[in-house]
Copies of this chain bind each other. A is one copy, B any other.
């Protein structure tokens, strides 16, 4: 099924206890669409870059069968740039530089060839830009998934809630769920957020896994205990890409299939954190993904069928 990914295609510069990078390929749209490309060969990306953006980065996307017709290249402008430094625990980071550049006045154009969209993934961006894409689609997609972050809760909560009310699945982390709902208990937070519009909520807990809620049920996806987290940048985006990539591949948006999709998102994210930036997502093999899924299955499998009191 045809899938649109909206999100930044950008430069990152990353420092971790293991090393640092120059400006490398980054951005939510990049991580998401690279992840979806392993499941869906009809991924179409909407984004914007400056004329400083190397053709080789765009070629990487095209080589993954990602349609980049919706990526605007702004002459005389510069690409979005983010730089950050991770602390020793790899769970927290300081932002060193944020240069919005082309994102400052991003007007997302939806090419006519994108109008067959069945699945829409709104990567973390201004909720106004996210809503604009929904409004510019002639037919509402079968499933709209939206990622966002605390930044938008801080500076444009009304716009954010407006966009949230239009989507089917919202993905945020645990602290953001608490901020958005005003509830500490994630079960209570989920109940409040599901009243804001979305039918499904995914709460990402990083190294502690992820929770998928609908009105009546909850599913828990563990994170794989890793020897070493090398660079967490893009893990949440990769998770979202694996999630919607899997759903759109088999065109099944039942809650049961979403459970497997959450595990697939977690599996894809477990690759991303093993190397700097998008590197892990450049040349994954289906066998590797399959073997990683097997690890998730084994991680939580236990037998209670023979128990007698």
A residues lining the B interface (CB < 8 Å): 88-90, 184-188, 205, 208-209, 211, 218-222, 225-229, 250, 256, 259-260, 262-263, 286, 290, 293, 297, 299-304, 307, 309
Residues of B within 8 A of A184 (CB): 88-90
Residues in B neighbouring A208, C-beta threshold 8 A: 205, 208-209
B185 and A300 form a contact (CB under 8 A) = no
* Bound form: Cα–Cα A231–B247 in Å: 39
Q: Report if A218-B222 is in contact (Cβ < 8 Å); known contacts: A184-B89, A307-B250.
A: no
With A208-B205, A208-B208, A307-B260 known as contacts, the answer to whether A302 contacts B188 (CB < 8 A) is no
> Smallest CB–CB gap between A190 and chain B, Å?
8
Contacts of A300 on B, CB cut-off 8 Å? Answer: 219-222, 300
Closest to A88 in B: B184
In the docked arrangement, what's the CA distance between A259 and B300, Å? Answer: 9
B185 x A299 contact (CB < 8 A): no
Q: Report copies per complex.
A: 2
Q: Which of B187, B222, B290 contacts A220 (CB 8 A)?
A: B222
Which residues does chain B contribute within 8 Å of A304, judged by CB atoms? 260, 263, 293, 297
Expressed in whole angstroms, the minimum distance between the Cβ of A105 and any Cβ of chain B is 40
Docked complex Cα distance between A205 and B207 (Å): 11
Contacts A209-B222, A222-B220 hold; do A263 and B227 have CB atoms under 8 A apart? no
Q: Which residue of B lies closest to A308 (CB)?
A: B250
Give the complex CA separation of A299 and B221 in angstroms.
Answer: 9
